[in-house]
Amino acid sequence: MSVGMAAPRKPYGSDPGASRGRLFAEEKSRTRSDFRRDCDRVIHSTAFRRLKHKTQVFVFHEGDHFRTRLTHTLEVAQIARALARQLGLDEDLTETLALAHDLGHPPFGHAGERALDECLKGHGGFDHNAQSLRVVTALERRYPQFDGLNLTWESLEGIVKHNGPMTDRSGNAIGRYREEGVPLEIARYVRKHDLELWSYASLEAQVAAIADDIAYNAHDIDDGLRAGLFKVDDLNVIPRIAQINSGIETRYPGLDDQRHGAELVRELISYLINSVSLETARRIEAAKLGSVQDVRNHNGTLVAFSEAAAADEKAIKDFLFQRMYRHERVMKVMRDAENIVRDLFARYQTRPSDLPADWSADMGAGGESNRARRIGDFIAGMTDRYAMVEHARLFDSTPELR
| 153/359: higher pLDDT | 153
Is residue 54 within 8 A of residue 198, CB to CB? The reply is no
Residue 209: its pLDDT value, please? Answer: 98
As a whole number of angstroms, the distance between CA 152 and CA 93 comes to: 10
Q: What is the pLDDT of residue 64?
A: 47
pLDDT of residue 63: 45
Q: How far is the C-alpha of 383 from the C-alpha of 372, rounded, in Å? A: 19
CATH architecture of the region 21-192: Orthogonal Bundle (1.10)
Looking at residue 360, its pLDDT comes to 83
**Alpha-carbon radius of gyration of the chain:** 22
Give 3 or 199, the one with higher predicted confidence: 199
Residue type, 218: A
How confident is the model over 212-238, as pLDDT tens digits?
Answer: 999 999 999 998 998 899 999 999 999
> Is the predicted pLDDT of residue 59 greater than 90, yes or no?
no
Query: How far apart, in whole angstroms, are the C-alpha atoms of residue 16 and residue 396?
Result: 53
d(CA 70, CA 387): 17
- pLDDT for 2: 44
Is pLDDT above 60 for 206? yes
Predicted pLDDT at 227: 87
Segment 280-301, tens digit of pLDDT: 999 999 999 999 999 999 999 9
CB 60 within 8 A of CB 383: yes
Q: What pLDDT does residue 57 have?
A: 64
Please determine, for residue 5, whether its predicted confidence score (pLDDT) is greater than 60. no
Give 55's strand partners.
Answer: 68
Check residue 337 and give its pLDDT. Answer: 92
Task: Tell me the domain boundaries of the chain.
Answer: 21-192, 210-328
Of the ranges 84-88, 105-109, 135-139, which one carries the lowest mean pLDDT score? 105-109
Q: Does the pLDDT of residue 1 top 50, yes or no? A: no
The residue length of the chain stands at 402
Distance from C-alpha of 337 to C-alpha of 347, rounded to nearest angstrom: 16
User: Looking at the domain that runs over 210-328, which CATH code has it been given?
Assistant: 1.10.3410
Whole-number Å distance between alpha carbons of 284 and 13: 11
- pTM passes above 0.85: yes
Residues 214, 273 contacting (CB under 8 angstroms): yes
Instruction: Give the residue among 118, 264, 287 at the shortest CA–CA distance from 203.
Output: 287
